Structure 1
Amino acid sequence: MIFDTKVAILVLEDLVTWQKLNVTAFLATGIAGAAPDAMGRPYEDAAGRRHAALLGQPMMIFAATPETLARAYRQALDRDLTRAVYVRAMFSTGHDEANRAAFRLEPADAPDLVGLALRGPRKDVDKATKGASLHP
């Protein structure tokens, strides 16, 4: 199936594994929260038990350098893509309110990104992620 939109998650390539997984998980929830129309239907197992819905389209996970993240962020702003962000300072916080406060302290045009998720028209997301390679 071909989708009109694309979801891409860019994660700083030199993070340790737990940080990459944590950032990816948080960013995926950000996209799901910002785009409820992208959610599929709840799952049901063979016993009839309901399980949570998942995003209804694939998410591409990219390894990125700081420069690639900064470029993708600028492109996402220019193209008005749905964005979820994770900055380095958020690793030292312990809850959502502190995360938002940490992000608000970042320079608006050059936050210290360690992760960025994007959703929007395929061509625009492709242009924003140009130069990033799929995560190994």
Structure 2
Amino acid sequence: MMYMIDWITCCCYMMLRKFHYADWDAKYTAILNSSAVCGFLFIAVVDMILLIVSPERLQYLYDYPRTRYLLSGFIILFLLIIRYYYLRKDAIPLMEAVFKSKGWDKGWLLFVASAVILVGSIVIGFFVAQYVKSQGIVFG
């Protein structure tokens, strides 16, 4: 799982470096992108699990959507910042070496991959929300 998150982060990081972003800005923006992707997917997974296990708890979460989305987004962003700035400072450079060795360091390929992953996670979140609505959960 962390390999996939590193892959998403590195893909965005290398794309931004191709557009001549500063190293720090590119790294932080890539982490923001990864936290958005992970946030959408995390919310979708939690929604599906709670829909099966406890629909009344899911309804409670949907009664306070701003708090839920902001809290989950900040928690994921915080965990990714801890990971990339304190625990595994070498994760992005190591993944960057893998990208270069496989020839995946082309700007257009990185842009398409980053865009497809981000838009795909938003679409998955949208479809899960529509499914949850169809099951009788009312958004707050």
TM-score normalised according to structure 1 size:
0.30
> Which has the larger share of strand?
1
> Which has the larger share of helix?
2
